[in-house]
Chains A and B, each alone.
Chain A
Amino acid sequence: MSDTSFTYAVARVRSKELGLLSSQNLEQLLSAKSYEECLRLLQDKGWGSADSGLTAEEMLAQEREKTWALMRELVDDMHLFDVFLYTNDYHNLKAAIKLVCTQGEDFGLFISNGSIPYQRILEAVREKEYGWLPSGMAQAAQEAYTTLSQTQDGQLCDVIVDRACLDTIYQAGKDSRSDLIQLYAELTVASADIKTAVRCANTGKPLDFIQRALAPCDTLSVSRLAKAAAEGMESICDYLSATNYAGGVDTLRQSPSAFERWLDDLMIEAIKPQQYQAFGIGPLAAYVLARENEIKTVRIILSGKLNGLPEQVIRERMRQMYV
């Protein structure tokens, strides 16, 4: 890939960035008197479509689709973005395994936007033809299916699939020549590891279970994190204080949601320099992440407004914006 690749695409994305929600736009949404007014404000900003009867979820789904439609238009090889879709693929794998094991029905469990169609995953699990799946996923699918069908332990099944997902993301980051995708992969795996460690510490999971759940990454020592998680929350905080994630320790002590917000803000802060890059896949990937972050924040505001939460409570959960 030459250093002047994606020049046209990056220029278009630069123009599109003007349409991203700024902190002022979020303040406007936040000060809206009602949920309906929020939806109106978003529609005025061009969210959703001309159809005024859209629900919030439909509007957010349309916005996500607009982003991916733009990327499909700008990039010939959409596999470059697979790293962002692996989470959806592995979610679909979990849903497929549970659906097949319980012989249940599809109640809208699947996410349509994956790097492979969810129907293929479901079919592969149903027919036990794991070879139809990518190699990393095939092994996890077989192991998770066998575990669930033999032990009925849904949590262990989830751990196997989640771990495989993180390994796939990490490997995709390593294989990528884009600094941004490498950074995304590293932060995704590290943040998932920390969140898993915290959950394990809170539920008193044994060391071997924690070790199995944590995926290796460059910025954390999995063995030390697992040991800390087995000892408790304070040990996790002590360990993290000596890592790149020391800045989030205070928020981790506050609440899991505050820490999650800190991690999301860390990601946005890390991708912000892409606003000044004129070439490469980085600015496009950053735009995709910025849109996802925007949609997540709007969802937080809308659900807060719908449930009548005080402005301060919603504000505490709002994410930092890319622009």
Chain B
Amino acid sequence: MNSLMSNMGLAFAILGAALAACLAGAGSAVGVGVAGQAAAGITTEDPNKFSKALILQLLPGTQGIYGLIIAFFCLNQVGLVGGTPADLSLAKGVMYFCACLPMAIAGLVSAMYQGKASVASISMIAKRPDQFGKAMIFPAMVETYAILALLISLLALIGVGGANI
């Protein structure tokens, strides 16, 4: 029981890292999947639009990468990557967990909605391939919020790492 309690801090930190990687990754999988269906649809009719459709399909994939960065950073902070796990207090572990949440939640939701925006943009280039630049902007706007979440999670992780609790 004592051993469990003494490792609870580390467990929370790992849970935070896992959520950042899993939720953001799941959101990206959904977003890229749905955009992929639309991309396949227009490529069936016009294979020349493959490259444009592919770029739009990949846009919701970035959240998965951001989630991975946060997870890796968090695990590195607690010494699980290439080192000895730090002796974390419960409070500090919970702080790591909370620091990962912005990326986990915003990553999941923004990737799903970015996927929908990508589908709409793919429909747009089906009819107006010359407007590819504008079509890119609409789903890219959703990216803003994933980047904000990434920044907050990163700053929070750095802050928690420096805290002496």
Contact = CB atoms under 8 A, between A and B. Distances in A.
Given A7-B37, A7-B38, A18-B127, A12 B45 contact: yes
Interface stretch (B2-10, B15-23, B117-125, B148-156): B117-125
Interface centre among A11, A14, A15, A17 (most CB of B within 10 A): A11
Contacts of B122: 11, 278
B38 A15 contact: no
A8 B126 CA distance: 12
A7 B41 CA distance: 8
29 contacts: A4-B115, A7-B37, A7-B41, A7-B119, A8-B37, A8-B40, A10-B38, A10-B41, A10-B123, A11-B38, A11-B39, A12-B41, A12-B42, A12-B45, A14-B41, A14-B42, A14-B123, A14-B126, A15-B41, A15-B42, A15-B44, A15-B45, A15-B46, A15-B126, A15-B127, A16-B45, A278-B120, A278-B122, A278-B123
B116 interface: yes
A278 B38 contact: yes
Interface residues of A, number: 14
A278 B35 CA distance: 11
Interface in B103-147: 115-116, 119-120, 122-123, 126-127
Contacts of A7: 34, 37-38, 41, 119
A141 B127 CA distance: 46
Nearest to B40: A8
Contacts of A9: 41
B116 A11 contact: no
Nearest to B38: A11
